[in-house]
Structure 1
């Protein structure tokens, strides 16, 4: 029996609040990503603005969940797995939410009327990565299905690679064909925020892979 398994035995049930909090945070990210996909595919500007506002509210929910995780981390001496991993995972999930909200906020503030194919594709990839993130997080509470966690993490890594390609190609096309410098800057910033959201999903996946190794 590993030392961590011994610690697990002595962790009171009510101290395992980290798992439902992580699950809430991951579900919240999926909801935000779903709204983002709806927004970038909506034809009406008014509909988009309503969806942006919903994303903004959910980002606040995510902040509260992350804050609660940090509070619990400070209150509990014995934790389900390494404190650094708990902090890193909470931060990575929160960063995904922040970047989804940041992307939507830029679209609103910059009054983006044309949702280009790369914007729509990156939004789809964020949603795919978020769904796999939720699946992996849901398996953390008992670590009995580590293969499921590993498979979700592998898919997230693959999605991040796809997002890199979409981003690089889109930015290259902007510099090749876009003559309006202001428009170029606006779209490049939005694309960068969307692509970085997939990076943070990969960060979360890397933390979970580390947890699997440490608790093997």
Structure 2
């Protein structure tokens, strides 16, 4: 790196570093959500394995981005908003990716055919939720489009409520119709993991809402 670039980095607005990192993380989280939805609609186990490998790669990429946020947090005295909120938001976004990856692993390791109405609906809600996360995070950069940010957060909260309903109905149906206890336990774990993803989306939205209240 040339001397000019080095000085440029030193005097680069610190706010910009965090905004770019959060936008990168949100973008990867969205891609992981889309990829999980592809996985649950793939009937071939070998093809699902290839999709899971992509989810794993994305999850590792997200870990790297999250680590960079924490590194910048330790390096920079001045931050665009509360250090605590930066930490909470980075952790919540990382949790979304972790639980999506955990869901994919459970589907594959347990050899569960994800061709299930409840699983499909949950995956659809996760994909929508992660897409809305991108919109909410993008608004942090200048706080000018609060309406769009608020709209995204309302949708994320609605998705979490819908996921709770889908989870409850799916578990009820599972106990009524599934006679194999092993399959029941496996599917219940998958549903729980997916429902947790939507909880983590809501956690991220709540942190963003907190930032808006403090700084907008």
For the superposition of Structure 1 and Structure 2, which TM-score range results when normalised by the shorter chain? Answer: over 0.9
- Structure 1 segments (4+ residues) deviating >3 Å: none
* Partner of residue 92, structure 1: 92
- 1:37, distance to aligned residue in structure 2 (A): 0.7
Aligned to 1:120: 120
Q: Does 1:102 align with 2:102?
A: yes
Within 5 Å, which residues of 2 pair with 1:1-216?
A: 12-216=12-216
Q: CA deviation at 1:114?
A: 4.3
Normalized against structure 2, the TM-score is what? 0.93
Aligned length: 206
1:6 paired residue number: none
Length-normalised TM-score, structure 1: 0.93
TM-aligned CA deviation for residue 101 of structure 1: 0.2
Shift of 1:13: 1.4
Q: CA RMSD in A?
A: 1.2
Secondary structure of 2:144's counterpart equals: coil
Return 5+ residue gaps in structure 2 as ranges: 1-10
Within 2, Cα distance between the matches of 1:79 and 1:16?
10
Contact 1:15–1:76, Cα closer than 8 Å, also in 2: no
Alpha-carbon distance between aligned partners in 2 of 1:171 and 1:188, rounded to the nearest angstrom: 7
Q: 1:14 Cα shift?
A: 4.5
Structure 1 gap segments, 5+ residues each: 1-10
